[in-house]
Amino acid sequence: MVRVVVVGAGVNGVGSALALQRLHPECQITIIAKDFTPNTTGDGAAGLWEPYRKGTGDTPDSKILEWAGVTWQQFSEWYSKGEGKTRGLSLIHGTTLNSVLKPSPSWQHIPLGYASLTPDQCAQFGPRYKSGSRFTTFTAEPSKLLPSLLRDLKALGTRLEVRCLSSLKEAADEADLVINCSGLGARDLVPDPLVFPVRGQVIRSAEVVEEWVGLRPYRSKGVRLEADELQLGNRTIPVVHNYGHGGCGVTLSWGCSQEVARLASRLILRHHGHASKL
């Protein structure tokens, strides 16, 4: 049986594990993480679907468009099937304002009712605003989404283990394939010096009922979603990295997870022959 270790239990680790477990039910997947929900980065985030460029470093626009589009499709499917509440999904209408002139984003056709604001409409919010838009989008609260995805995983037989790893090799020691979704942890685990924390704050309601400060796992070169290898003595263990989602991790999570599963599936077949023989 092919043993897969997914490092990390945030929206990207749990999503990647679920996508791969569905594609390869015969694999024994274990998620190893020092924090599970409600203590991951996403747990305090509202989880707004908005693929804004600034939050994702140098990730190519085409990849952001693809990953965010796949996530939108999944959110829409859950919502239309009446699973919105259990998955933590809501639809909200909002206005974004910029102090500089910005072209309409490539993803404008995805959310509902996207419309650019005219200069006069922007000026109504104050003289500093030069461009803006209105649209209706999803919020997917990870504090509700993650428990629902973990329930799906447990039903498929995926194992969950709370453990702090000192290196990716420690995970590779027990695996035929490692999927690295360690967020900020990638800075030490890979190690990848391009990963650094960007502070963010969410304050709920005008009368403050809860304040939460989190660190966005930013990577200057953008999201790292690619295959790699670890050498462990005479064993070569394939690795799929999926980290560095910055301020857009919820928005990109489902799309990235599907790509991780496809990549991992190819590696399983290349390194081990037909997966069902193992």
Q: Smaller CB distance to ligand FAD: residue 26 or 107? A: 107
3-state secondary structure 175-193: CCEEEECCHHHHHHHCCCC
- Going by their DSSP bridges, the two strands 3-7 and 89-98 should be labelled as unpaired
From the list 30, 41, 74, 131, which residue makes contact with ligand FAD (rule: CB under 6 A)? 41
Q: In 157-221, where does DSSP find H-type helix?
A: 168-172, 186-189
Q: How many CB atoms lie within 10 A of CB 31?
A: 26
Q: How far is the CB of 2 from ligand FAD (least distance, A)?
A: 21
From the list 4, 5, 18, 40, which residue makes contact with ligand FAD (rule: CB under 6 A)? 40
- Going by their DSSP bridges, the two strands 195-204 and 210-219 should be labelled as antiparallel
**Considering the rule CB under 6 A, would residue 160 count as an interface residue with ligand FAD?**
no
From the list 2, 13, 145, 223, which residue makes contact with ligand FAD (rule: CB under 6 A)? 13
Tell whether 255 is in a known binding site.
no
Give the Å distances, CA to CA, from 127 to 2, 95, 98, 134, 135: 60, 16, 11, 18, 22
What is the number of residues in the chain? Answer: 278
Q: Which two tokens stand for residue 264?
A: 């991992």
Residues 246-275 that bind ligand FAD (CB under 6 A): 246-251
**Considering the rule CB under 6 A, would residue 47 count as an interface residue with ligand FAD?**
yes
CA distance linking residue 89 with residue 82, whole number of Å:
10
Tell whether 251 is in a known binding site.
yes
Q: Smaller CB distance to ligand FAD: residue 34 or 271? A: 34
Residues 226-245 that bind ligand FAD (CB under 6 A): 243, 245
**Considering the rule CB under 6 A, would residue 200 count as an interface residue with ligand FAD?**
yes
Name the one range near ligand FAD by CB under 6 A: 19-27, 72-80, 116-124, 182-190: 182-190
Residues of this chain that interact with ligand FAD (CB under 6 A) are: 7-13, 32-35, 40-42, 44-48, 164-165, 181-185, 189, 200-202, 214-217, 243, 245-251
